[in-house]
Amino acid sequence: MSASNLEIGPIFRALMRNKVGAILIAIQIAITMTIIVNSVFIIVERSQKMTRESGIDEANTFHIGSSAFAPNFNHQVSIEQDLALLRALPGVVDAIQINAVPISGSGWSMSLQTQAGAEYDGIGSAIYMVDENGLNALDLELIAGEAFVASDIRWRQRGQTDWPEQAIITKAFAEKLFPDSEWASVAGKTIYINDNEPMIIKGIVDKLQAPWVGWDNVEHALLSPERLAFPTVRYLIRTEPGMRDKLMPEVEQALATSNKGRIVRGLRTSAEDRERSYRGDSAMIKILTTVMIILTVVTALGIVGLASFSVNRRKKQIGTRRALGASQGAILRYFMLENFLISSVGVAFGAALTVGLNVVLVNAFSLSAIDWFYIPIGMITLWLVGQLAVYGPAKKAANIAPAIATRTV
Amino acid sequence: MFGYYLKLALKSIKRNPILSALMVAAIALGIGSSMTTITVNYLMSADPIPEKSQQLFYVQVDSWDPTSPYNDDNNDPPNQLTWTEATNLMAAKKAKRQTAMAKSGAVIEPSNPDDKPFEASIRLTFADFFPMFNTPFLYGNGWDQQSDLARDYVVVLTREINDKVFGGENSVGKNIVIMGQNFRVVGVLDHWQPVPKFYDVNNGAFDETEELFMPFYLKEELELPNWGNTNCWKSPEGEGFKAFLRSECVNFQMWVELENSQQEAEYLDFLNSYVSEQKALGRFARPMNNRLSDVMEWMENQQVVADDAQIMLWLSFMFLAVCLLNTIGLLLAKFTGKSAEIGLRRALGATKSNLFIQHLVETAVIGLCGGVLGLALALLGLQGIGALYGSFVEHLTQLDFTLVVIGLGLSLVASIAAGLYPTWRACNIAPASQLKSQ
């Protein structure tokens, strides 16, 4: 089919006689494309962020806090009793005391470095203080070196500032600390905390995220072999599959009744931690999705409205064309093609605007730059939306009877 | 005349119900989405204490690591103070009013043995806190400066805690057991929730206010834990709570009240001379970098308005633009459809300006309908945001009178702006050409 058969010339000249309507639709399509493509890009980024794994057995893990208030409360004895009680409960895989919970939003971080001395820069990592049951309770896989044993574990008193001699770190942190070494060979090396306190890397675990999901170093974690003799402590409990919800009230009850000199509080599952930590991202995804859908509908309805109007206005012309021998297909094609021309201008303009908005977002809100392939996909989508929207009115136009040409309106 | 135009407008709207409904819906959706995001941004960037926000200043001094700045991206000093600075600057008393503060928490044991002990959040602060921030009192008052220094066991409760522990009665003078110690209640606050919670944006700019307020130095006395954000560049020298308190870790906020720019300059001078003294003692190795920021400057510096909220604001404005373009197109269609009628009226003597006003009234009616519907949609949208974000946005999803006026005004202005070109086109129809074709 040659260009002349497609009647681009007459369509274009007709469009030029009624520029404003066409321009309005083109701008609408351009802005709609800008919003939709940027939204999709943000949605994809956020979803990718949300699918990252924390490394722990999220579905079967919960945690609970205990705050002592009674005078002369013996923290060490209480913690040992609590752990014995928790570990003996049927359905509990393991339980530990821990200073902070992965992806929960609050915790400790320290800076670690490979050379001693205040003049060297360190790399930030989350710190988890755990005992020899830590790897099992957190569901971590040891991929190099050795796990902690009972004799490695020490008590940290309140206000105590020195560090144990050993640590287990994540693979991601090992690779960041020693970029030139094979990660497996990092076990046994020494790193420094507090500028110059040595810690020997006893083992490496596959994956464990920091408490803060938005942190650049979220994959950096260090396990420190210790229990905390603090008045406010937290226990993390891993259960057998399906046992979590049954065990939660039992654990709360058991801890509350075993010692009246403290309160238990903050009973929460790791699944809930995830939901809270990613709530902003998940909300943004839902809002942007809604906006995209409504916006597409509005733009499509606008196209339908204007196309119907222009069909109505040209009823007599269409009838005349039909009477002069134009087929129904030709009429349908005319309106589809007209819309295609308008959409093309719109999406071309929209592509530039999309990149423009992305540049603004990158500069103002440190979003990442958009991948190129989003642009053509967006263009094709808007073309399709335009064609679908105009199909109804075009079909109506095609059904106009040739006899109408003989009537006066 | 206006009444007649209104009648004509309603008639015209009724004649094309689908087209009119489309326009109202488009404006409503645009206004609804913009008003939702405007509300969230407006409340996030609100001045939490308008009567005094230019007299309250947040204090920053650069006590950070000699070898690396607190913030790699800019030259800002740390956003909190050490215990040493907080207590020294308070002791100097160089401002009209001043308060250092910190967040903490402790267990309350209600006197009624049936009520379980529970944990409450604490704001450790000074007597000046209450007059500085105009806190409303339901009963009693804050403590006096004597109690600050004497480290009295006095406490101000929020209304919620007073309801919980004392059943809402006037508890001033009564005892309450906190951390195993007997505290005397001196005051009960009425509902007080500054949005943003400007006095401590480090620990959640839209968090609830703390449940208890007590003298700052009790931190040392009772070894109260750090609940807020704590940052250290150097580990404490020595062991124990006191060593930690005297370390270079920052965990404290400080506000001063200064009445004019001269006092502000004087206070900054004082900070500089204080830091010089400390430098002589071997601390503060970084270049002199002290700051005073008033409330709104501090909100700006701490980027209290969330990025996502701003992104959505801009997207919703673009959304509104699409809806308006849509409306322009539809109005154009509608008015062109009326060209015969317009031609007739012109021929019968109606002036261009008569017709212009008539059609503007018609667009304004559509705009207002869209605006009212849009506000309803905004309420729905805010509820949606409330459901999606949970308690975090509890104080950010309420439409107030100003916002309703802004919403209706925006819809009116937007719809009239959208109506101008179609109206102008409609008025310029030559009467003769229209009458001929009939």
Q: How many A/B residue pairs have CB atoms within 8 Å?
A: 143
Q: What is the ipTM of this complex?
A: 0.85
Residue B110 DSSP symbol: -
Phi and psi at residue B140, to the nearest 5°: 65, -150
User: What pLDDT is recorded for position B434?
Assistant: 66
pLDDT, tens only, B162-215: 999 999 999 999 999 998 899 999 999 999 999 899 999 988 888 889 999 999
Contact across the interface for A35 and B319, Cβ inside 8 Å: yes
pLDDT class of B436 with cuts at 50, 70, 90 = low
pTM reported for the whole predicted model: 0.86
Contact across the interface for A282 and B388, Cβ inside 8 Å: yes
B282 — alpha (psi -120 to 50), left (phi > 0) or beta? left
Start-to-end Cα distance in chain A: 36
Distance of CA A369 to the CA centre of its chain: 16
Measure in Å the smallest separation between the Cα of B333 and chain A Cα atoms: 6
Give me the DSSP letters along B342-383: HHHHHHTT--HHHHHHHHHHHHHHHHHHHHHHHHHHHHHHHH
Contact across the interface for B311 and A25, Cβ inside 8 Å: no
**pLDDT above 50: residue A206:** yes
Contact across the interface for A361 and B311, Cβ inside 8 Å: yes
User: What pLDDT is recorded for position B438?
Assistant: 45
User: What pLDDT is recorded for position B378?
Assistant: 93
Q: Which of A27, A69, A305 sits opposite B109 (nearest CB)?
A: A69
Q: Which of A121, A263, A312 sits opposite B107 (nearest CB)?
A: A263
Q: Where are the beta strands (DSSP E) in A216-346?
A: 221-229, 232-239, 262-269
User: What pLDDT is recorded for position A317?
Assistant: 86
- Among A197, A294, A361, the residue to mutate for chain B (most B Cβ within 10 A): A294
Measure in Å the smallest separation between the Cα of A143 and chain B Cα atoms: 32
Task: Report the residue of chain B nearest A38, measured CA to CA.
Answer: B315
**Residues 299-328 in B contacting A (C-alpha not used; CB under 8 Å):** 306-308, 310-312, 314-316, 318-319, 321-323, 325-326, 328
Of B22, B6, B56, B10, the closest CA to residue B329 belongs to B22
Contact across the interface for B22 and A306, Cβ inside 8 Å: no
Task: Report the residue of chain B nearest A313, measured CA to CA.
Answer: B337
Average pLDDT over residues B51-73: 91
Q: Name the more confident of B232 and B192.
A: B192
Set of chain B residues whose Cβ sits within 8 Å of the Cβ of A357: 318
By the 8 A CB rule, do A358 and A369 touch?
yes
Task: Label the pairing between strands A92-97 and A108-113.
Answer: unpaired
Task: Report the residue of chain B nearest A302, measured CA to CA.
Answer: B326
**Residues 123-182 in B contacting A (C-alpha not used; CB under 8 Å):** 179-180
Measure in Å the smallest separation between the Cα of A75 and chain B Cα atoms: 16
B424 close contact with A: CB closer than 8 A: no
- Mutual angle of helices B17-44 and B2-15, in 10-degree steps: 110
CA distance A33 to A382: 7
**Six-digit token pair at B290?**
């002290």
**Six-digit token pair at B310?**
């701003």
A305 close contact with B: CB closer than 8 A: yes
Contact across the interface for B326 and A301, Cβ inside 8 Å: yes
User: What pLDDT is recorded for position B15?
Assistant: 82
Contact across the interface for A231 and B307, Cβ inside 8 Å: no
Of B84, B100, B80, B60, the closest CA to residue B250 belongs to B80
The residue behind tokens 């049936």 is B114
Distance of CA B283 to the CA centre of its chain: 37
CA distance B219 to A158: 15
Cβ-Cβ contacts under 8 Å for B403 (sequence gap 6 or more): B35, B38, B39, B42
Set of chain A residues whose Cβ sits within 8 Å of the Cβ of B242: 159
pLDDT class of B356 with cuts at 50, 70, 90 = confident
- Among A28, A110, A212, the residue to mutate for chain B (most B Cβ within 10 A): A28
Lowest mean pLDDT among A130-144, A367-381, B303-317, B417-431: B417-431
Phi and psi at residue A135, to the nearest 5°: -60, -40
A286 close contact with B: CB closer than 8 A: yes
Q: Name the more confident of B226 and B126.
A: B126
Residue A238's DSSP bridge partners are A61, A94
Distance of CA B13 to the CA centre of its chain: 41
User: What pLDDT is recorded for position A2?
Assistant: 44
User: What pLDDT is recorded for position A222?
Assistant: 97
**pLDDT above 90: residue A54:** yes
**Which of A241-251 are b and which e, b meaning 16 or more Cβ less than 10 Å from the residue's Cβ?**
eebbeebbeeb
Task: Label the pairing between strands B212-215 and A262-269.
Answer: unpaired
Q: Name the more confident of B268 and A22.
A: B268
Cβ-Cβ contacts under 8 Å for A186 (sequence gap 6 or more): A144, A169, A174, A177, A178, A201, A204
- Of the segments A362-366, B136-140, B325-329, which one has the largest average pLDDT value? B136-140
pLDDT class of A61 with cuts at 50, 70, 90 = very high
Cβ-Cβ contacts under 8 Å for A77 (sequence gap 6 or more): none
Contact across the interface for B225 and A231, Cβ inside 8 Å: yes
Give the residue ranges of DSSP H helices in A314-373. 315-323, 328-365
Angle at A12 between CA A11 and CA A16, to 5 degrees: 115
A232 close contact with B: CB closer than 8 A: yes
User: What pLDDT is recorded for position B400?
Assistant: 84
Lowest mean pLDDT among A81-90, A139-148, A252-261: A252-261
By the 8 A CB rule, do B82 and B248 touch?
yes
Task: Report the residue of chain A nearest B329, measured CA to CA.
Answer: A21
Lowest mean pLDDT among A115-119, A256-260, B220-224, B237-241: B237-241
**Residues 38-97 in A contacting B (C-alpha not used; CB under 8 Å):** 38-39, 42, 67, 69-71
User: What pLDDT is recorded for position B68?
Assistant: 84
Distance of CA B175 to the CA centre of its chain: 35
Q: What are A399-404's contacts with CB under 8 Å, separation 24+?
A: A399/A328, A400/A311, A400/A315, A400/A318, A400/A319, A400/A322, A400/A331, A401/A319, A401/A322, A402/A319, A402/A322, A402/A323, A403/A319, A403/A323, A404/A315, A404/A316, A404/A318, A404/A319
**Six-digit token pair at B378?**
């905004």
Query: Mean pLDDT of all residues in chain B?
Result: 90
Contact across the interface for B22 and A301, Cβ inside 8 Å: yes
**Residues 82-111 in B contacting A (C-alpha not used; CB under 8 Å):** 106-107, 109
Q: Which of A31, A161, A194 sits opposite B321 (nearest CB)?
A: A31
Q: Which of A42, A263, A302 sits opposite B326 (nearest CB)?
A: A302
Average pLDDT over residues A151-159: 91
Measure in Å the smallest separation between the Cα of A236 and chain B Cα atoms: 20
**pLDDT above 70: residue B387:** yes
**CA distances (Å), origin B267, targets A285, B25, B61, B293, B297:** 47, 56, 12, 12, 17
By the 8 A CB rule, do B200 and B228 touch?
yes
Domains of chain B by residue range: 2-45+306-437, 56-301
Q: Which of B241, B318, B332 sits opposite A159 (nearest CB)?
A: B241
The residue behind tokens 């206006």 is B2
CA distance A234 to A264: 9
CA distance B100 to A177: 39
B21 close contact with A: CB closer than 8 A: no
Which helix or strand (DSSP H or E) is residue A282 part of? helix A279-313
A363 close contact with B: CB closer than 8 A: no
Kindly state the percentage of chain B with pLDDT values over 90. Answer: 57
Measure in Å the smallest separation between the Cα of A108 and chain B Cα atoms: 9
Kindly state the percentage of chain B with pLDDT values over 70. Answer: 98
**Residues 190-249 in B contacting A (C-alpha not used; CB under 8 Å):** 223, 225, 234-236, 239-244
Q: Which of A119, A160, A309 sits opposite B333 (nearest CB)?
A: A309
A216 close contact with B: CB closer than 8 A: no
B357 close contact with A: CB closer than 8 A: no
